[in-house]
Structure 1
Amino acid sequence: MKKPAKIITLLLSLALISVTSAKAQSNLALTVSPTRQNINIDPGGTESTYVTFFNQSDLPIAGNIKIVDFIVKDATGTPYLLEEGSFPSKYSASSWITTNAERAVIAAGSSFKVQMKIKAPDNAAPGGRYAAVYFEPTGTLPNTKAFITQKEGQQAVTSRLVALLNIRVNGPIIEQAALKRFDVPNFLEYGPVDIKAEILNNGSYHITPKGTITLTNWQGKIVGQYNLEERNIFPERSRIYEATLGPKLMLGKYKVSFMAIYGDANQVISADKILWAFPWKLALAITLAIIIVILLAILIGKRIKERQKELETKLEKEISEIEELKKKFKDTPPSSTK
């Protein structure tokens, strides 16, 4: 009895340790607000802004505060931080920004506000510049992955809490975008339709397209529609949109329409593609079944006719025999009796 009791005690102890550890980790939480800002500035002008880091844990957290540039490399909008010494980008803005602190200790349940001053050079070209401010804890923390709160992309370094600064230098900017790809199948057997579209931003400032992907049938009736996610597309980068539209059973001609607007002038990007849907395997199976039924009907009908003909022939033969018998008995005179 003592051995099972020891095992139960050990299991309960391990469970208590796990719960305590999980609770300690859940109590360590850092957040930042706002996570992303759009800031307008004139060439040679000055603007001020701030971000606030919140420590929602039960322990004080010390860390470094840094301003760096960021770029977007992929078609999903993931921001990548450019550390000091990285190759300079024409969309850089970190050198324009100064802060009120390079280090901070955020007390438990408290916050720290980072004040920033942005000074644009006199010769700053109109368009977009992109920087990030982050808080990097210097202590050993149990759950550093909890510090990432960016909705638009995750940083490779998970111990940094990042806020993005999208800076627009006022002036005549280039707004130019195009549909880089619009993948729609030409033919499919069954729905729904998998659609992939990619918008490329050839302008000098990020855009946030708004629009829809619509599927209509041969009667012009809408059978499916997808609203584009309103996400930023940075200069010289693209973003992919994926949609799955339509019912499983589709028949005939369909049109897939892409329509989006972007920029200050609400410029339009549009495209249409035609696809045909036909469940040919099902139709082939139904056709073969109908053919088999028809052939069986013909065969059965033929057999019935042959049987009927056989019966008619047999009946005629029997009638003929009966007639002969009747004639024979008729021609034979009855015998006389004495």
Structure 2
Amino acid sequence: MLRYLANAAAIFLALLLCLHIFSLPSSAGVSIMVSPTMIDLTLNTEDTSTQEISIRNTGDEPTRIRVYAMDFSIDRENNYIFSDPGHQSYSCASWLGIEESDFGLGPAETKHVEVTISVPQEVEPGGHYAALFFETIPIETQPGVSVAIAGRIPSLFYLTIPGVTDGDIFANAEITSLMLPRWVDGGPVEIGAVVRNTGNVHLTIAAKAYFTDFRGRQAGEIDLGQTIVLPGTERAITGTWLKTPFIGPAQATVVIGYFDQHNQLVNRSMTGSFQIIPWKVIIAVFASLALIVFGIWALRRKFRFRLERKDSE
């Protein structure tokens, strides 16, 4: 289990750090692709780093591109929320210098945009985050000709600033609650956990859920996937259990895994229970029994009536 969580987290992070491409289609033949959409770096104070982001017009119409930085956060339901630079306490939007913030892009043309990250001298150790948007600007056309709808794609920056001592950086997470039903009538069952990042750097967290039946026997397991959790925030990690036991109490144990500031795998777990009550089957059985009992009663009554009638004759 520990090896699985370690491999899952590593694979997820590797996929995100590789050449990850995100595309945005829109009308009037305008479509763009941005790569990479995530940049994860560790930089010291006063460091300068230059990163290259590629943007390609995959449509058949020319367009203009505007580039600008914003803050972002991620809520519990995995929704990305963008705000003006400096809105978040961990913002690094002002650290991003853009080589060219407004340019044209012809059909099938690719442009490589240089982004310079300049870390200030006085900065709090830990994680700092920003989103660099590439937004299409609608081009004016002749009357009666359709105009491309403006759209934008972010490239997310995850920066970690080490401290002077090891204690300045701490990576820690906990399961605050389980997302379990009180009872179900069978599968599929939505299972999950709410995970909170109590450290000061972002974490890639992998999770699995393990199930036992009322006899304590293993009843299955599901992969809850992986997610990135920003410092001081919560994320809900969910999955679906398809093949449940037929009836009785079931126990679910959710295990999360992540790497701490020393690159050591840490596991946390929480256990909860719920009831599996196949009420439709139970009602059908009772209804069938009721019909059988009624049938027996009706037959006995009919037989008794015949006997009484025969005796009277």
Q: TM-score, normalised by structure 1?
A: 0.69
- Is 1:104 the counterpart of 2:103 in the alignment? yes
| 1:169 equivalent among 155, 161, 164 | 161
Correspondence for 1:45: 47
What RMSD over aligned residues (CA atoms) do the two structures have, in Å?
Answer: 3.3
Q: Do the aligned residues in 1 keep the contact of 2:194 with 2:236 (CA within 8 Å)? A: yes
Q: Which runs of 5+ in 2 are unaligned?
A: 1-25, 141-146
Correspondence for 1:138: 137
Correspondence for 1:209: 205
| 2:35 equivalent among 26, 33, 36 | 33
Shift of 1:173: 1.6
Correspondence for 1:81: 82
Q: Which runs of 5+ in 1 are unaligned?
A: 1-23, 145-157, 315-338
- Is 1:93 the counterpart of 2:92 in the alignment? yes
Greater CA drift, 210-219 or 34-43: 210-219
Match runs of 1:326-337 below 5 Å: none
Q: Do the aligned residues in 2 keep the contact of 1:215 with 1:245 (CA within 8 Å)? A: no
- Is 1:239 the counterpart of 2:235 in the alignment? yes
Q: Do the aligned residues in 1 keep the contact of 2:250 with 2:276 (CA within 8 Å)? A: yes
Q: How many residues get paired? A: 276
Task: Please state which structure has a larger fraction of its residues in helix.
Answer: 1
Correspondence for 1:259: 255
CA distance in 1, matches of 2:182, 2:131: 44
**Paired residue type of 1:244:** T
Correspondence for 1:283: 282
Shift of 1:27: 3.3
Alpha carbons of structure 1 residues 283 and 30: separation in structure 2 relative to 1, 3 Å: closer
Alpha carbons of structure 1 residues 190 and 109: separation in structure 2 relative to 1, 3 Å: closer
Correspondence for 1:18: none
What is the percentage of aligned positions where both structures have the same residue?
20
CA distance in 2, matches of 1:247, 1:55: 46
Greater CA drift, 132-141 or 40-49: 132-141
CA distance in 2, matches of 1:242, 1:255: 16
Shift of 1:116: 1.6
Alpha carbons of structure 1 residues 76 and 26: separation in structure 2 relative to 1, 3 Å: farther
Alpha carbons of structure 1 residues 237 and 310: separation in structure 2 relative to 1, 3 Å: same
Task: Please state which structure has a larger fraction of its residues in strand.
Answer: 2
Alpha carbons of structure 1 residues 285 and 123: separation in structure 2 relative to 1, 3 Å: same
Report Cα offsets for 1:285-334 as digits up to 9, x if no partner.
5356446646765886798799889999x9xxxxxxxxxxxxxxxxxxxx
Alpha carbons of structure 1 residues 250 and 37: separation in structure 2 relative to 1, 3 Å: same
Secondary structure, aligned partner of 1:164? strand
Q: Do the aligned residues in 2 keep the contact of 1:215 with 1:246 (CA within 8 Å)? A: no
Secondary structure, aligned partner of 2:108? coil
CA distance in 1, matches of 2:89, 2:54: 28
**Paired residue type of 1:253:** P
Report Cα offsets for 1:128-176 as digits up to 9, x if no partner.
11112222233338343xxxxxxxxxxxxx6223211111112442222
Q: Do the aligned residues in 2 keep the contact of 1:77 with 1:232 (CA within 8 Å)? A: no
